[in-house]
Amino acid sequence: MTEPSKSVEKREGKPTKAVRGRSQRNHDLETKTVTWLQMNVGDCSQLNATLVFESDGSGVFSCSTWTNHTVFGDTWHSTFAVYDVNKVRLFTLGEWDSPSMNVGNTPGIAWSNQFKFPAAQFEAIDNVTQYYSC
């Protein structure tokens, strides 16, 4: 038996400021990192989400997700809108989906997603809004 199809509108998180740093992978690269401590929707939670942009146009998103109740397994869905200091959208990332989650996964299933973005826009990155559902 499969779960019935349902349309779920994504929630919009608050814009989160990017923090400049140095790459752990390559010290010649600069980074901009955005973090979210915990987000919740329905029976699902996302913890310690981190989005890292590197000045060469590469990046990685990582987090842990879990559910407090499911019959069929839940999936966390994330999409990100990246903005400059003037709130002009530069680009979007995602939709990225967590592995299927079942009750008892607390403190969560750790997962990540590598990505590419236009390296020429690295300097303009100022903040990111996460849109999410489960």
Beta carbons within 8 Å of 120's beta carbon, 6+ residues apart: none
In 3D, which of 3, 14, 1, 16 has the Cα closest to residue 75? Answer: 3
- 1 belongs to a structural domain: no
Is residue 58 exposed (0-12), middle (13-18) or buried (19+ Cβ within 10 Å)? middle
Residues of the domain holding 86 = 17-133
Residues 51-61 have a mean pLDDT of 97
Mean pLDDT of 109-120: 95
What integer pLDDT is reported at residue 104 of this predicted model? 67
Residue 10 domain-assigned (yes or no): no
Reported pTM: 0.87
CA–CA separation, 121 vs 24, rounded Å? 21
Residue 54 to residue 116: CA distance in whole angstroms: 9
Alpha-carbon span 2 to 4, nearest angstrom:
6
User: Is 71 within a domain?
Assistant: yes
Q: Comparing 133 with 6, which gets the higher pLDDT? A: 133
Other beta carbons within 10 angstroms of residue 12's beta carbon come to 11
Q: What is the pLDDT of residues 78-112, one digit of tens each?
A: 999 999 999 999 999 999 999 888 776 666 789 99
Q: What CATH number corresponds to the domain at position 53?
A: 2.60.40
